[in-house]
Amino acid sequence: MLQLRPNCECCDRDLPPESRDAMICTFECTFCARCVEERLHGVCPNCAGELVRRPVRPAAALARHPASTTRILKPEGCEHVATS
């Protein structure tokens, strides 16, 4: 199940579970759409994986399976996208 992390790892912007601007990789590294477009160019800086839009969890499901509240922030990782 997706963790639905609450913020962008690059800019610490809030990304609530209903946000359509949240992007994740296969490991659920979570970024906002703006960082993905302007800084990361669609590639996760942590694992070099593909970033896709995080699906929105319906409210009823969210009540049973709440989103994560653990904020993860790695601003230093966002300027150095893996090139290998």
| Residues making contact with Zn ion (CB under 5 A) | 8, 10-11, 13, 25, 27, 29, 32, 35, 44, 46-47, 49
Minimal distance, residue 64 CB to Zn ion, in Å: 27
User: How many CA atoms lie less than 13 Å away from 15 in the CB half-sphere?
Assistant: 34
Minimal distance, residue 54 CB to Zn ion, in Å: 13
Token reading at 82:
């893996």
Nearer to Zn ion, 21 or 56 (CB): 21
Partners of 32 in beta bridges: 22
Q: How many CB atoms lie within 10 A of CB 60?
A: 8
Nearer to Zn ion, 65 or 74 (CB): 74
Are the C-beta atoms of 15 and 8 separated by less than 8 Å?
A: yes
Minimal distance, residue 74 CB to Zn ion, in Å: 11
